[in-house]
Amino acid sequence: QKEVEQDPGPLSVPEGAIVSLNCTYSNSAFQYFMWYRQYSRKGPELLMYTYSSGNKEDGRFTAQVDKSSKYISLFIRDSQPSDSATYLCAMSDGGGSNYKLTFGKGTLLTVNP
């Protein structure tokens, strides 16, 4: 079983839709959870960062972490064509000096005008 599982999609939605992206994980030591957005032929860009369980909102983006279910989500409200990209979840246990991030394989999202 992979440490982090992410539905690769592709996911295609109309402009203005609410998008839900999800990851599950198996390592209960993970405490730090991130979502990155990666446009084609670019490096990943940090979107959201959360520690432990709970919700965090930033503009049209909401990140949710449910550690009891080992499940994290990213919601995008009022999706725009500019949101078309690959979305990667990432997590770490943050133990000591361990700065290794473990990534999901990414979900390819297309928002159609």
CA separation for the pair 72, 30 (Å, rounded): 11
- CA-nearest of 62, 89, 79, 105 to 13 is 79
- CA-nearest of 85, 92, 91 to 107 is 85
Asked if residues 73 and 86 have their Cβ atoms less than 8 Å apart, the reply is: no
Q: According to the binding rule CB under 8 A, does residue 43 interact with other proteins?
A: yes
CB nearer to other proteins: pick between 17 and 108: 108
Q: According to the binding rule CB under 8 A, does residue 61 interact with other proteins?
A: no
- CA-nearest of 88, 99, 110, 113 to 19 is 110
Q: According to the binding rule CB under 8 A, does residue 1 interact with other proteins?
A: no
Q: Which stretch binds other proteins (CB under 8 A): 13-21, 65-73, 76-84, 92-100?
A: 92-100
Q: List the one residue from 9, 17, 32, 70 that touches other proteins (CB under 8 A).
A: 32
Q: Which stretch binds other proteins (CB under 8 A): 20-28, 67-75, 76-84, 95-103?
A: 95-103
CB nearer to other proteins: pick between 31 and 62: 31
CA separation for the pair 58, 36 (Å, rounded): 14
Binding site for other proteins (CB under 8 A): 32, 34, 36, 41-46, 49, 51, 88, 90, 92, 94, 97-106
